[in-house]
Structure 1
Amino acid sequence: MTAAIDQGVSLKAYNTFGVDVRAAHFAEVTDDAALLAALGYAKAHELPVYLLGGGSNLLLLEDLPGLVIRMASRGRRLLQAQGSRVLVEAEAGEPWHPFVGWTLDQGLGGLENLSLIPGTVGAAPMQNVGAYGVEVKDVFAGLTALDRQSGELQDFTLEQCRFGYRDSVFKREPGRWVILRVRFWLDREAPLQLEYGPVRQRLAEQGITEPGPRDVSEAICQIRREKLPDPTTLGNAGSFFKNPLVPAAKAAALSERWPGLVAYPQADGQAKLAAGWLIEQAGWKGYRRGDAAVHQHQALVLVNHGTATGAQLLALARDIQADIRARFGVELEMEANLLPAA
């Protein structure tokens, strides 16, 4: 099989920041065979390879001289059941939120707290995406990935993925693995996770006293739409920075100086600080520099008002990092991936 390779393709429509850079070579692959053909083309022409999913956790910095491969495989299936638990598999190119909706249609709980997260199924374990007290690792059953070094397929267990906070082995070894399919253990009787954020409050306001997974999903969708800008109308990549982890003693010292500090104790003795609170206290919320800006309602989100370049958005992010370091002695790590790496 040969891959359909296009030349000089704008990537503006393939990243939620809406940054307009071009790929020298571009292929959209819908199955394993097309992926292997595209990788073969890149090898034959000695081209670097860049992988794209939904482009939702990505900042493109400049034109890409190699081959951009967009994962567009589709397919979702129920594999087996063990009592109330059901093993579900989806292809990497499946859009994440519609996939979550499909699992709810099957009467399965577990992913409802991750509703309305942009991106694809294949990108979810890469970042170990999480929201409202749930992370992908909590319902993860396994995945199949292509090892570009050996050319072989490998199945990964939960332990082999080495999941961390917005982290995984796939993120730590960039360029090596191409995630093809992901599996999840979901449950028809899954207990609901309602303690994180305003989810329970929103359900109570709606008079829902005995919620199901669908109710939780709809409540979270409402909350996310209120808090986060829609990338189809205002370019953004969601939360641009991770919530920093610091020793509990440092968090206590910061709380003495800034009594309103938002910090969440962690099981390992650290504390997770709310990056958005730090950025807002430093005066960056709503700041605009040309078309690169910090969202006026959510300080954790950088936005593109139209024509900002990746370099301009990155410069703004680095200025914020430097200011938070100087004010609080805290390092902010970018959650968004930079392409090419800077």
Structure 2
Amino acid sequence: MIQILENVDLQRYNTMAVPSVARFFCRATSVSELREALAWSQTQHTAQYVLGGGSNTLLDAEVNGLVIRPEISGWEVVGEDKDVVYVCAGAGVVWHTFVMECIENGYFGLENLALIPGHVGAAPIQNIGAYGVELKDVFHTLQAVNCESGELIELSKLQCEFGYRDSVFKGRYKNKQVITSVTFSLSKAPRVSVQYPALIEELAKSNVLTPTPRQVAEAVIRVRRRKLPAPETIPNAGSFFKNPVVCEDFALRLKAEYPQMPQYDAANKRKKLAAGWLIEQCGWKGRKAFGVKVHDKQALVITNPNRVDVGNILELAASIAADVKLKFDVSLEREPKLLSE
């Protein structure tokens, strides 16, 4: 039986270390406990919020409802064929730990996604991606509980409607389904993806010409540690803005005016711009404002060293976005979402 706690401090449950208090809070270590928590919120006529690793979430000072923390643990092989192994992981499994354990067991495909903070259950919502690989590339199915009925459903890759840092859980299923487990389609053969420039450069430094999956993961970890602060020492939510995607004609005009601007091919003959570069050109890298700071090694990261309120963070983000819009006529979209959203 679940334990409903009252007036719980959530600061340690979000990597931005925003001070926040939940009116009600509980942990769900199984599907049955999750159903129980959802039913409790319905009988009490209170709002419900799901908070996983808290690495891509901004919390309000007060959360007036039930905050549910899915802590369904463990992973197992649920099937395989000649080339592929299907690995199912609980929503509460720490993402990076899972990635490294898969590599250790000879299940490949997750290497480029090493050291991304958070839990497995949040990965499909964001369609997490890094260094040329996205979650959808290794995704097979997931299971989720319907918030109203408690029904356990299974969704395929197509049904998840994955896009750039996007999925059906940010749209039609937002606040309607809670992910309980994710099954991945991983390769038995050590196939690696090293097309991303920063990764190629890092491997070249070590004179690695034909990297193993473990060497790719280790290179990713080194790059991330150099560029991104560890949340446990400098509170942050990772990349604070999405890389904007613009039409090809507009991208060409920008390139003519700013020849050094990084641009990457995107779907439907569009171009992806580097949000960090745009922010840096506006002079925000390493700057402090509203008690918050833009990281001095990566302008895409907003840090919260003083552990201030979320309002301060949003003010800084709005100022950055306004400057980028003024200089480049490009709109930045915030990546971490408010729990209340």
| TM score, norm. by length of structure 2 | 0.97
In structure 1, give the amino acid aligned to 2:37. Answer: A
Moved more, 297-306 or 148-157: 148-157
Which 4+ residue blocks in structure 1 deviate beyond 4 angstroms?
none
Q: How does 1:251-330 map to 2 (within 5 A)?
A: 251-330=251-330
Aligned residues: 340
Contact preservation (8 Å) 2:16, 2:307: no
**Structure 1 stretch 106-115 or stretch 304-313: which is displaced more?**
304-313
- Cα displacement string for residues 22-67 of structure 1 (whole angstroms, at most 9, x for unaligned residues): 0010001111111111112111111100101100001112210100
Helix, strand or coil at the partner of 2:268: coil
Cα deviation, residue 108, structure 1: 1.2
Q: What residue is the counterpart of 2:77 in the other structure?
A: 78
Match in the other structure for 1:119: 118
1:107-165 Cα offsets, whole Å, 9 max, x none, are 11100000000000000000000000000000100001111233211110110000000
SS in structure 1 opposite 2:317? helix
Deviates more, 1:319-328 or 1:115-124: 319-328
SS at match of 1:109: coil
- Aligned residue for 1:268, secondary structure, equals helix
State the distance in 2 between where 1:322 and 1:210 align: 44
Deviations 1:231-260 (A, max 9, x none): 000010000000000001101101111121
Q: Superposition RMSD on alpha carbons, in Å?
A: 1.1
Task: Give the gaps of 5 or more residues in structure 2.
Answer: none
**AA at the equivalent of 1:87:** Y
1:212 Cα deviation from its structure 2 partner: 1.0
Contact 1:128 1:136 in 2 (8 A): yes
Cα distance between partner residues in 2 of 1:30 and 1:267 = 39
Structure-to-structure mapping, 1:93-172, within 5 angstroms: 93-172=92-171
Please state if 1:332 is matched with 2:326.
no
8 Å CA contact 2:247–2:271 kept in 1: the answer is yes
- Of all paired residues, the percent bearing the same amino acid is 44
> What residue identity is the alignment partner of 1:241?
F
Residue type at the aligned position of 1:47: T
| Contact in 1 for aligned 2:20/2:63 (Cα 8 Å) | yes
> Within 1, Cα distance between the matches of 2:197 and 2:313?
29
The answer for unaligned runs of 5 or more in structure 1 is none
- The worse-fitting range, judged by mean Cα deviation, of 84-93 and 191-200 is 191-200
Once structures 1 and 2 are overlaid, which stretch shifts more, 16-25 or 168-177? Answer: 168-177
| Conserved 8 A contact 1:57-1:335 | yes
> Helix, strand or coil for the counterpart of 2:143?
strand
